[in-house]
Structure 1
């Protein structure tokens, strides 16, 4: 495995894990995507809890806390990959749209966009 994880590999790992547990997990169909989004939100809550309870400096300086924080972030990415797979989003399709969104955001004036009218 490469040191840097890419979208294609994350999607393949998601499918591999699902294949191992397909008898007890929800099918790889779009109607189950929302369930995995809810699981992802739960994991985001766990990340928030670490930030609130331990603080930024502990995440940056304490190896044990940092590992827990990264592990919870990985859980988010795993559920995110599960959602993409359930909606049959390919790594190429995702990458294309991501780059377009990035380019659009690079042209935006976020300060102006968020000024009160």
Structure 2
């Protein structure tokens, strides 16, 4: 199985949006807020798996782990929808992610 990155995730989201364009509102800035709220709901569902099943169950291969991963995929799908709604490219995410990582690498240095 290939690794998946933001390029592929956004391609898949655009494919999904195109398939359901007659059912779903078009993705644009006016829809981003709704997508962000749905992302938060999905994050809550992932947290609910942690609360109900516990950390140990998620660490083991099984139903709890599969449900947790599925909920996290929902979070990532909505995250990509938000990025698409605002026209944020995978390249912009990559650049910002590396810059943020670099800042965090030095953020709490004591010397």
In the alignment, which residue of structure 1 is the partner of 2:40?
Answer: 41
Tell me what 2:9 maps to: 10
Cα distance in 1 for residues equivalent to 2:88 and 2:34? 17
Instruction: Show the counterpart of 2:19.
Output: 20
1:69 is displaced (CA, Å) by 0.5
User: What is the match of residue 92 of structure 1?
Assistant: 91
Q: Distance in 2 between matches of 1:20 and 1:80?
A: 19
Q: CA deviation at 1:4?
A: 1.1
Match of 1:74?
73
Number of positions where the alignment pairs a residue of Structure 1 with one of Structure 2? 110
Find the counterpart in structure 2 of residue 61 from structure 1. 60
How far does residue 3 in structure 1 lie from its aligned partner after superposition? Answer: 2.1
Structure 2 residue runs without a partner (length 5+): none
TM-score (norm 2): 0.94
Q: Distance in 1 between matches of 2:95 and 2:38?
A: 26
Question: How far did 1:62 drift?
Answer: 4.5
CA distance in 1, matches of 2:48, 2:27: 30
The alpha-carbon deviation at position 26 of structure 1 amounts to: 1.5
| TM superposition score normalised by structure 1 | 0.89
CA RMSD across the alignment: 1.3
Show structure 1 runs of 5+ residues with no match: 113-117
